[in-house]
Amino acid sequence: MRYRPFGNSGMTVSAITLRLSDQSRLRAGEWRDLIFSAIESGINSFQIDGESPPLLQGAAEAFASVERRLLFLAWRVREDAGQFNAAAVEQMMASAFDGLGLDYLDQVLINDSLGPDLSPAAISALRTLRDGRAIRGLGVATRGDVHPGLLDSGLVTALASPFNLSSGWADRNRVRAAVTRDLAVIGEDYWPQALREINAKPVFQKPSLWRRRSDPLADVGGYDFLTDTSGWGAEDICLGYALTEPSLATVRITADSRAEIERLAGVVERDLPNGVCAQIEMARFSAQERAREAALR
């Protein structure tokens, strides 16, 4: 496993973060074993994205076996920012403290409020928790531009944003702008749905014969390398690419088994095969050119 600094927090986190979600219908013992597998693979960063009793019980048992300062634990809030009030903050902390047996969270991750600030009551509650060291930082998950007013509130320490090999300039600029603000960046959606379906439906249809004669990009820019690279699966290549971005403090993954965790953790120690990075850039360039061409029609 490799580790990176998490912004200015003073904490060093594993290059990948394991998301613990209610969608994985595991029993408490299975959750415990899954987290143990992650820890054994060197993962020290976890995002709790659910409140089911089996998840909380299994996670509490696993986390209790490790010295707390060695773990980076984030709590994901799924409510819309407009509904994130003081009562929601209290409920969140009750689940984290009582359900997980924690005395503090390294981060609370909320959805972008799409406005200058959260509700005054929520801001006050979060400030109180931060001042009491019950939470160490606030993260914002967004697919757009976070309002400067929220960024300037003094609470935000991290940004969670999609980043993958098909990311355009909007995603890339968002990530780099966050780094200039000394925010830690969590990479999400490293394996987007469009690329997951590549076996069922090509991302780009092959052009007709008449177009191939006039289109210099007709035979380049596809994503065939995702399925044709020896020793690498599509997900592994996508994760490997996200890990090459130095602006990301960590990349969030989801895994339901020990085998999945070990495979994804193994990607961290591997370098992408020669030529794959060039093929990725050709695919991105070709996609941008085709999008521009379509817009001009």
* pLDDT at residue 261 in the model: 98
The pLDDT value given to residue 109: 95
Instruction: Report CA 248 to chain centroid distance, whole Å.
Output: 9
For residues 146-167, average pLDDT: 89
| Amino acid 209: pLDDT | 46
253 domain residue, yes or no: yes
225 assigned to some structural domain: no
pLDDT digits (tens, 9 = 90+) for 31-54: 999 999 999 999 999 999 999 999
The token duo for 290 is: 């085709």
Condensed to tens digits (0 to 9), the pLDDT of residues 61-82 reads 999 999 999 999 999 988 776 6
In a domain, 207, yes or no: no
Length of the chain: 297
Q: Is the pLDDT of residue 11 over 50?
A: yes
Summarize pLDDT for 194-233 with one digit per residue, the tens.
888 865 455 445 554 444 444 443 444 578 899 889 999 9
The residue type at 265: A
> In this predicted structure, what is the pLDDT of residue 264?
98
Name the pLDDT band for 178 (thresholds 50, 70, 90): very high
**Which is more confident, 85 or 43?**
43
Q: Please tell me the total count of domains within the chain.
A: 1
Is the separation of the CB atoms in 256 and 20 below 8 Å?
A: no
Computed over every residue of the chain, the mean pLDDT equals 86
The pLDDT tens digits of the residues spanning 246-264 come to 999 999 999 999 999 999 9
Q: Output the domain CATH number for residue 115.
A: 3.20.20.100
Residue 91 — pLDDT band, cuts 50, 70, 90?
A: confident
Residue 256 lies in a domain: yes
Residue 24 lies in domain? 3-193+242-272
For residue 219, is it within any domain? Answer: no
88 found inside a domain: yes
Kindly state whether residue 120 falls inside one of the protein's structural domains.
Answer: yes
